[in-house]
Structure 1
């Protein structure tokens, strides 16, 4: 059993925990809840002797943690799953812990199987995912087969199957008579796992009771009642009848009625006596999350506000459209051709030696399709012609290209001049 009496911890002028007293009994899963900064991690560190309390004391089985003989055989804890030497394998990490506490090596293989890491036991932990790191931390907590276990956010990073496994593991450990103390922010998971709750806010105790009593004490149960939607006069008739006998009736947005102060059988009898048909009569009990939010609403230190974005978004000019994203832009292999120069002329090619193509991105390469001397070479992907037999007529040669124009703008062709194909022997007219 864990027992804290008047625990107080101050860091300079900041009080993290103040006069905190509670008991964690064996045979049940006790949830430890509270907003961020409420002092949960500090409390757990004081339980494990990692922090000295400013005032008060905490014991495990009647003794402070530091006075327990071979404490790892009595208490197992998971506070930080990343507190592992990344260069060690999962098995070597657990083996070093076992050797320090006199635990036989066979126990290492047993807990690796319990947490499902037997297939990656030889891998270095620095390559583990967050969920795998959590499993390794749970294995370290189970290594000494302790009677007291503390877990801080044990399902962080686990997939749904892993969360279900942790839930069943906690229940099984508590069923064996062990003391299980679990801190978590997942209210839905605590509702399925915990039997008892200890809730703190700003370092002080807010609640210490069972889950069922906590929900009942911090929420208002009510009954949902629905009458035929096509007959609104029946809803008004039933509202008047329930109000006369002391019920409190509030309309819901979907047309149903929320009734408090009357049990469900009494509501059914009143509806029958007044001749009102009911389409729905169901009890509603608040969830653990709703009760927790109601309890801790005054102990939350960090609250968000609406993001107004005032003055940050400027209206676009008329007719302007936002730029469209270019697929692949920003990737290492992404390439965009340069824009053409003004006047419609292409970019000037880099100057090189006469008859030598400029160097490409992979070294000195010829331009695509260029042969020796800069002449256009045959297309290497075009269909090859069969070799010409000896004596067969050769195809006519193309006329020589016109001499290059002197530097300056080329003279435009007359509008009436026909366009010919220099590759043909004569102009087809």
Structure 2
């Protein structure tokens, strides 16, 4: 098991990681998520003893990495797939690592077969593609048959077959009772691979929960409803009926309606009573990607601006130009509407202007109230962050 307690790392005046506390348990694949510059790589380097924490501690099996006897046979890691001498063959690279750790030579052939590089074992690694380099890095991590494995972007550069292979490999390793900690920006892959998530932003802990709990806590289920495209009056009539029944309705960019607060049978009954045809009525749950974007939207350091040349060329029919007005209700941060039933993270949530709220039945204006108290900080980041937390080095603070 990997355990971090109050883990903090500063580079001079810049803070890369602040007060991280979490556990990575054996028997599950734990995903490590966060925007670029959030401190994921720095955290992994501290786990492996490559960086010394400014304060706090991180242990593997109750001991710091540097105190583990023959650590290479207990912990395997893929941090930088390019950390290979280009003049060495894949076989010699693994053989040198095996000899340093007292691992039998036969194990080199075994891991080359596991990662599928047995046919190119004698080739110099400088001629390897990005995907082949990733496979060689994974082979090095597996060399000592360790109980703890750390992977930083393990599917980078792999083709679809390779991605499926890595996914199944990590699941199999976890099923054997090993501790598997994997960092990735591919949300779709994390949704298929990870059982548990640790999410950080600007060096602070945002979430430590299962994938299902994470999606439920940062999104709300909804019904997707579509009426015939050539009958706009039916769409408006259905919207009014749903609002009168207590539902909340948001128009989607493709013309469908996103409905919350009403069960699907109730929506069907209302459409039938109003004599409105439906082309679609289906339940939907937010994806891991959407839940992740909602949570981390305020922790992103690098945002794109609108292309100043956008609009110089006539777009094809049906194409929405960048910067074009979004449908009503979709103007919130990141383009995601805030839905009833959602449990937004107070660190990431931004206030939504009144004109961007979903349609709902009119109510009497509330009496004036005192200004709301500031949102509480996340539980795991109760300690105040240093003022320089948003400053970053281009590479080291990762």
Q: State the TM-score, normalized to the length of structure 1.
A: 0.69
Q: Which moved more, 1:250-259 or 1:57-66?
A: 250-259
Match of 1:362 in 2: none
Residue aligned with 2:21, SS: strand
Match of 1:212 in 2: 212
Match of 2:179 in 1: 179
Residues 158, 229 of structure 1: alpha-carbon distance in 2 compared, 3 angstrom cutoff:
closer
Residue aligned with 1:107, SS: helix
Q: Distance in 2 between matches of 1:211 and 1:84?
A: 34
**Mapping 1:127-138, distance limit 5 Å:** 127-138=127-138
**Mapping 1:215-364, distance limit 5 Å:** 215-308=215-308
Match of 1:412 in 2: none
Residues 252, 86 of structure 1: alpha-carbon distance in 2 compared, 3 angstrom cutoff:
closer
Residue aligned with 2:154, SS: coil
Cα drift, residue 273 of structure 1: 3.8
Cα drift, residue 43 of structure 1: 0.2
Deviation string 1:121-148 (CA, Å, 9 cap, x unpaired) is 1111111111111111100000011111
Verify: 1:200 aligned to 2:200, yes or no: yes
Q: Distance in 2 between matches of 1:12 and 1:300?
A: 22
Residue aligned with 2:282, SS: strand
**Mapping 1:142-181, distance limit 5 Å:** 142-181=142-181
Which of structures 1 and 2 has the bigger CA Rg? Answer: 1
Residue aligned with 1:139, SS: helix
Residue aligned with 2:270, SS: helix
Cα drift, residue 265 of structure 1: 2.4
Alignment root-mean-square deviation, CA: 1.7
Q: Distance in 1 between matches of 2:131 and 2:254?
A: 41
Residue aligned with 1:262, SS: coil
Match of 1:104 in 2: 104
Q: Distance in 2 between matches of 1:18 and 1:191?
A: 27
Verify: 1:19 aligned to 2:15, yes or no: no
Q: State the TM-score, normalized to the length of structure 2.
A: 0.75
Cα drift, residue 239 of structure 1: 2.2
Residue aligned with 2:38, SS: coil
Residues 114, 13 of structure 1: alpha-carbon distance in 2 compared, 3 angstrom cutoff:
same
Structure 1: 5+ residue stretches without partners: 311-429
Match of 2:394 in 1: none
Q: Distance in 1 between matches of 2:32 and 2:219?
A: 19
Q: Distance in 1 between matches of 2:61 and 2:269?
A: 55
Q: Distance in 1 between matches of 2:238 and 2:9?
A: 57
Q: Distance in 1 between matches of 2:7 and 2:253?
A: 47
Q: Distance in 1 between matches of 2:86 and 2:204?
A: 37
Match of 2:62 in 1: 62
Cα drift, residue 183 of structure 1: 0.5
Structure 2: 5+ residue stretches without partners: 311-398
Number of residue pairs matched?
Answer: 310
Deviation string 1:352-395 (CA, Å, 9 cap, x unpaired) is xxxxxxxxxxxxxxxxxxxxxxxxxxxxxxxxxxxxxxxxxxxx
Match of 1:423 in 2: none
Cα drift, residue 157 of structure 1: 1.2
Residue aligned with 2:69, SS: coil
Deviation string 1:162-201 (CA, Å, 9 cap, x unpaired) is 1111111111111111111001111111111111111111
Cα drift, residue 160 of structure 1: 1.4
Match of 1:89 in 2: 89
Cα drift, residue 221 of structure 1: 2.5
Match of 2:321 in 1: none
Cα drift, residue 230 of structure 1: 4.6
Cα drift, residue 107 of structure 1: 0.7
**Mapping 1:48-59, distance limit 5 Å:** 48-59=48-59
Cα drift, residue 279 of structure 1: 2.0
Whose RCO is larger (CA < 8 A, sep 6+)? Answer: 2
Cα drift, residue 266 of structure 1: 2.3
Residues 137, 236 of structure 1: alpha-carbon distance in 2 compared, 3 angstrom cutoff:
same
Q: Which moved more, 1:283-292 or 1:171-180?
A: 283-292
Q: Distance in 2 between matches of 1:204 and 1:304?
A: 23
Residue aligned with 1:35, SS: coil
Verify: 1:78 aligned to 2:84, yes or no: no
Cα drift, residue 304 of structure 1: 2.1
Verify: 1:116 aligned to 2:116, yes or no: yes
